[in-house]
Structure 1
Amino acid sequence: MVLDMGTLYAVAAIASAVAGVLHLIPWLTGRLAPWAAWWGLGHIAVGGSSLMVAIFDVKSVAMPVFIPNILSVIGYAAVLQGVRVFERPQARAAPLLILVAIAAVPLFLSRDPQAFAGRIAYLCAVRACCDLAVAYVAVRMAQRQGLQNAWLMAFLFGATVPLFVGRAWLAATGRIGSTLLGPADDLASWLAASAIAFIVFRGFSLLLLDAERSHRSLADLACRDALTGALNRMGLAQLRQRLDGQVAVMMIDVDRFKALNDVEGHVVGDTALRLLAETGQMVLGQRGSLVRTGGDEFLGVMPRLSHEEARALADAIELRFDQEIGRCTALAPRPTLSIGLAEGAIADGFERLIAQADQAMYAVKRMRQGNRRAA
């Protein structure tokens, strides 16, 4: 089967340009974050480079040969930066721009139209490095952020790495052929055609990731209390489905919360609730989740923790809240926490554990009220 390389380069140019425009326009209208600008401009640059190759044979003196080559390097680097910014919005562009400038120097100096094999080997090596870096960032996002579509991106970019490496090796050993365009059926051309096939499909992979991330953010918002960021009752229901075995729960209530609202206002009361949520989740960490069940009541859910371990965490939450609440209010006596604990098997009934923790919390509250009256 004979390949028409000129047509394939034109297809790659059109696909990259379309992907670039469809990312750049939403960024310009404020619908996408800055990662879309890098990704869009990168694909437009790659498409422009492929279009130049499709229209002008790079061996021709009609066009300086370094222009499409340098444009290709800039495009691939911009695509890589787009993925980096998508993963971490604060990712700096300066180090990558320095590497691009360094990588462009040999291409700028190599102007002999007949020495195109060496430039192809160099460009394929640069492209392989960029695609490998994108695949690495995609795997990292899949593992750290749980984005399942990142595995697809890793595959689409990782698959072209051996193709570019193989083409670079063929070019370096003088087996690239006598022309880039026109009919061809050698191994180097098939490697190029295979890489172009992946390039055509992967231009929209970051949009899939953005859609997945947005969907997860909306789902997370639906499961969290708007004021404190703790889980709400819907979040508790989802958490309940993942629980098995032993679990410890703590019911937390803010003492004198009504007095705080009445004397200093609801703004201070809201601040106290946010402080409790931040304190509770900080102490629990990965060992448990905090749920706002209503008003000033919170529920701590700690899978596979013993009663003693749960008690230590409850004491830590109470101590830290007592240390920090003074910054929110001058009310005397200051608000404190009453915490009740229960521990048992989920199979025996999660609601029963919550009821036991609630009873224990009210027992602590009655004991403290009795002590204050006695005092």
Structure 2
Amino acid sequence: MLDLRTIYIVSAMTCSVLGIVQMIAYSSGRFERWLFWWSASGIVIGAGLFSVGLRNVLPDVVSVLIGNNLILVGYLLLIVSVRLFGGRPARWGLSWLILAVLSAPLILLWRDDASTAPRIAIFSLVCALGDLLVILEGIRLARQERLRSAWLVAAIYMPTAAIFAARALLAVTGWIGEGGLFGPGNGADAWLGLWAAPFLALRSIVINLMAAERAGNKLTYLADRDALTGVLNRGGLMRSYAGLEPGPVALMLIDVDRFKLLNDTHGHAVGDEVLRRFASSASLHLRSSDLFARHGGDEFVIVLRGCPVEKAVETAQKIRAAFAASLAEMEGLVVQPTLSIGVATEICGPGDLETLLQRADLALYARKRNGRDGIDTFEEDRQAA
């Protein structure tokens, strides 16, 4: 027969050791505050499980009152750490208030030996609620940051939420707890504990997977971005373009006119500010699905998904107007840069990026031959002529 006390002690050691290891990792200074609270959660839950596991060995005030409430405090720290990881406020005051309300029945019932089953039911429901909150935070992170490992968090906490809910139901219906926590007739509770034990270990390390994935995503993001303007660089454009779904696209190749003269006259600091202002003003008229990249120097590329040539030209006009308005805020500009824009479209897109760039480049230089500061579109017949 399974020994529930042993399961408690082993689970306590697992949570405590993993919490201590993670606390050591936090002390390296490479992690943010969320890991401190996550580590503390494991240590506190481990201490609570150990106290409960020594029921009838330690005084009841330690094994029942303090042990159960330590586990609930650990759950509070767990939820706080996940919120901090997601960039949300901890809300300590509200959290402690909710914990006090939820733990009040356990405090009131701890002296009564006949109240073991009700205590188990209340405690298990509170833990199931804590697991549910972590699941919701995991789903939110998965959707907002596209962290695949956050879905794993939700998947790992779902079984333990179900186990705690089942334990509460068994306690309410009298299947467990009637003879005390470790009394006879609690085989079902032991089996639930056995099923929960491996998930407790997995739960302790899953946030590290999210941290590693987030760090990898950040490195990828930085590698794909232009440091000056914050838009995609050429490599980022190529990778993002390769991931586009089939459909019509329009590509704009944009050149900042008289940029070399601007640098020679006003200096590179002013030139950098002009490029930043262009990137900022152009972004105001782009959708989240569009691609915006610095192709090199004073040349930029914008890819509009599902956009006919007329709409692309309209967007280009808005960008020109926004850029001019932004430059009007800069005082003392002797050289006034403008925008020359070449537009090419692909109906059965996205097609080959280099081909689209070549077509847009032909349109761009046609615009430059005709006096700059305007928009030209690629036309096959005209280019052939």
Query: 2:22: which partner in 1?
Result: 23
Q: C-alpha separation between the residues in 2 aligned to 1:167 and 1:173?
A: 10
Query: 1:81: which partner in 2?
Result: 80
Q: C-alpha separation between the residues in 2 aligned to 1:64 and 1:179?
A: 13
Task: Specify the SS of the correspondent of 2:328.
Answer: helix
Q: C-alpha separation between the residues in 2 aligned to 1:143 and 1:236?
A: 23
* 2:31 matches 1:32: yes
Query: 1:48: which partner in 2?
Result: 47
Q: C-alpha separation between the residues in 2 aligned to 1:6 and 1:242?
A: 54
Q: C-alpha separation between the residues in 1 aligned to 2:3 and 2:147?
A: 38
Query: 2:119: which partner in 1?
Result: 119
Divergent runs of 4+, >4 A: 182-185
Query: 1:103: which partner in 2?
Result: 102
Query: 2:242: which partner in 1?
Result: 241
The one-letter amino acid of 1:285's match is R
Task: Specify the SS of the correspondent of 1:249.
Answer: strand
Task: Tell me whether 180-189 or 45-54 shows the greater mean CA deviation.
Answer: 180-189
With CA pairs under 8 Å and 6+ residues apart, which has the higher RCO, 1 or 2?
A: 1
Q: C-alpha separation between the residues in 1 aligned to 2:20 and 2:330?
A: 50
Deviation of the 1:212 alpha carbon: 0.8
Q: Deviations over 1:210-255 (max 9, x none)?
A: 1111111111211111221211121122123223332110011112
Query: 2:371: which partner in 1?
Result: 368
User: Is 1:17–1:43's contact at 8 Å kept on the other side of the alignment?
Assistant: yes
Q: Deviations over 1:327-359 (max 9, x none)?
A: 345213422222211112447643222122122
User: Is 1:57–1:181's contact at 8 Å kept on the other side of the alignment?
Assistant: no
User: Is 1:247–1:343's contact at 8 Å kept on the other side of the alignment?
Assistant: yes
The one-letter amino acid of 2:366's match is A
Q: C-alpha separation between the residues in 2 aligned to 1:81 and 1:37?
A: 11
Task: Specify the SS of the correspondent of 2:300.
Answer: strand
What's the TM-score once normalised by structure 2's chain length? 0.89
The one-letter amino acid of 2:312's match is A
Task: Specify the SS of the correspondent of 1:291.
Answer: strand
Q: C-alpha separation between the residues in 1 aligned to 2:10 and 2:118?
A: 24
Task: Specify the SS of the correspondent of 1:293.
Answer: strand
From the superposition, tell whether residues 71 and 353 of structure 1 become closer, same or farther in structure 2 (CA, over 3 Å).
same
Q: C-alpha separation between the residues in 2 aligned to 1:28 and 1:183?
A: 44
User: Is 1:236–1:291's contact at 8 Å kept on the other side of the alignment?
Assistant: yes
Query: 1:65: which partner in 2?
Result: 64
Task: Tell me whether 106-115 or 42-51 shows the greater mean CA deviation.
Answer: 106-115
Task: Specify the SS of the correspondent of 1:283.
Answer: coil
User: Is 1:251–1:361's contact at 8 Å kept on the other side of the alignment?
Assistant: yes
Task: Specify the SS of the correspondent of 2:53.
Answer: helix
From the superposition, tell whether residues 303 and 63 of structure 1 become closer, same or farther in structure 2 (CA, over 3 Å).
closer
Q: C-alpha separation between the residues in 2 aligned to 1:134 and 1:198?
A: 14
Aligned-pair Cα RMSD in Å: 2.3
Task: Specify the SS of the correspondent of 2:251.
Answer: strand
Deviation of the 1:183 alpha carbon: 7.8
2:313 to 311, 314, 334: 311
Task: Specify the SS of the correspondent of 1:248.
Answer: strand
Runs of 5+ unmatched residues, structure 1? none
Task: Specify the SS of the correspondent of 2:301.
Answer: strand
From the superposition, tell whether residues 348 and 106 of structure 1 become closer, same or farther in structure 2 (CA, over 3 Å).
closer
Superposed, 1:338-349 pairs within 5 Å as: 338-344=340-346, 345-346=348-349, 349=352
From the superposition, tell whether residues 64 and 164 of structure 1 become closer, same or farther in structure 2 (CA, over 3 Å).
closer
Task: Specify the SS of the correspondent of 1:3.
Answer: coil
Q: C-alpha separation between the residues in 2 aligned to 1:269 and 1:143?
A: 38
Q: Deviations over 1:21-40 (max 9, x none)?
A: 23323333321111112211
Q: C-alpha separation between the residues in 2 aligned to 1:121 and 1:249?
A: 62
User: Is 2:125–2:164's contact at 8 Å kept on the other side of the alignment?
Assistant: yes
Q: C-alpha separation between the residues in 2 aligned to 1:157 and 1:283?
A: 42
The one-letter amino acid of 1:357's match is A
1:282 to 278, 281, 284: 284
Query: 1:129: which partner in 2?
Result: 129
User: Is 1:4–1:182's contact at 8 Å kept on the other side of the alignment?
Assistant: no
Paired residues in the alignment total 370
From the superposition, tell whether residues 328 and 54 of structure 1 become closer, same or farther in structure 2 (CA, over 3 Å).
farther
From the superposition, tell whether residues 232 and 347 of structure 1 become closer, same or farther in structure 2 (CA, over 3 Å).
closer
User: Is 2:250–2:303's contact at 8 Å kept on the other side of the alignment?
Assistant: yes
Q: Deviations over 1:81-138 (max 9, x none)?
A: 1111112244534332321122222223333151222221111000000101111111
What's the TM-score once normalised by structure 1's chain length? 0.91
User: Is 2:249–2:350's contact at 8 Å kept on the other side of the alignment?
Assistant: no
Between the aligned residues of both structures, percent identity stands at 37
Task: Tell me whether 258-267 or 291-300 shows the greater mean CA deviation.
Answer: 258-267
Q: C-alpha separation between the residues in 1 aligned to 2:239 and 2:258?
A: 31
User: Is 1:9–1:51's contact at 8 Å kept on the other side of the alignment?
Assistant: yes
Deviation of the 1:369 alpha carbon: 5.3
